[in-house]
Chain A
Amino acid sequence: MKPARIVAVAALAAAVGTGSAACSSSSGSAAPGSGGGGTVTIGESTTLSGSIAELGQSGLQGVQLAADDLNAHGGLLGHKVTVVSADDAATPATGAANVRSMILNDHVVAVFGPVSSAVAAAEEPVAAEYQVPIFFHTSNDISLLGKGFTQYAFQVVPNTVMESRAAADYLAAQSGGKQITVATFAPAYSFGYDTVSGFLQALKDLHVSYKLVAQQFPPLEATSISTYLSRIVTAHPDYLFNAQFGGDLVTFTKQAAGYGLFTKTKVIAMYDSPVLSALGSSAPAGAIGFDRAPFWAMPGLSSFSSQFHAKYGAWPSEWAVLGYTAVQTWAYGVEKAHSFTGSSVSAALPGATVPTIRGDITIRACDHQAEIPEYVGTVASSADSTYGMTLWNPSVFTAPFSTIDYSCAQMQALRG
Chain B
Amino acid sequence: MAALLALVCGLIFGLGLIAGGMTDPAKVKGFLDLLGPWDPSLALVMGAAIAVAVGPFALAKRRKDRQQKAWSGEPIELPEVQTIDARLIGGGVLFGTGWGIGGFCPGPALVALSSGFLPAFVFVIAMLVGMALHDRWLARR
A interacts with B: no
Q: Which residues of A does B touch, CB under 8 Å?
A: none
